[in-house]
Structure 1
Amino acid sequence: MVDAALKLEGEKTGEIAEGVGAAIGGIGVEKFQIEEVAASHKIPIYAILVKESDVEAITTMKKEIGDAVPLVIERMRRLIAEKTSEGDSVVLIGVGNTLGVGQ
C-alpha cells in the first residue's frame, strides 16, 4: 500500500517511511477488515508512506511530495524484488484521493 502519513514535528515533507500492515486512515474499521482478511489468508501487507502535515493533506500538493514519487517507486520495486518470487501475484494499492493534485 502507498499512502500519505502525518509527519511529526521535525520531520520533512516528502520523507518516506516503510512499515507493515494496512496503511489507511480513518476510524480503523477498514484497516481492521483488510488486515483480518489478509491474515486469514496469510497475505503479507507492506506499506510505503510519504510524510506530510495535516494542512498539506488538504491543500495544493507541495513539490516535495511530488519529488518523493521516484523514491517511492524505487522502494516499491525493491520491496517486490525482495519479498516475492516469480509467478507471485502483487496488488499495489494507492490509498487516498487526489484532492491536491489538480489545484
Structure 2
Amino acid sequence: EHLFSDLKEDRDRGELVFPRFSKNPAAISKKFQTLRERVEKLPPELTTHLLRHTFASHLVMQGVDLTTVSSLLGHSTVKVTELYAHLQPDHIRMAVERLPYKIWG
C-alpha cells in the first residue's frame, strides 16, 4: 500500500517510475533503489525485470496491442515483447468462455 502511495505521488509530480527515454540503465536502477529505500519489506524477488514483465502482461491482458506495448518498453522488435507478455490462466480461460460454443470440458 505504501509503495502505491509513493508511486502515485511520483506520478502526480510528473516523475516516471522507469524513465524510458533515458538511455542510461543506471538511471532505472537508481530509481528502483530509491523505491527500495523508501518502502520497507520489498521482497528480494521484486526486480525491475519482474516489474517490466508484469507491466507488459497487464497491458496485453487489457487489450493493448503488442506494437504499443513494445514501444512503451523500448523494445527493438515486437518479438522481444512477446517474450515479456505472459497471459494469466484465468485470462486465457475467460477468453475461451467468450466463444459461443464449447471447445473443451
Higher helix share: 2
Write 1 or 2 for the structure with the bigger share of strand: 1
TM-score where L is the length of structure 2: 0.28
Q: State TM-score, norm by structure 1.
A: 0.29
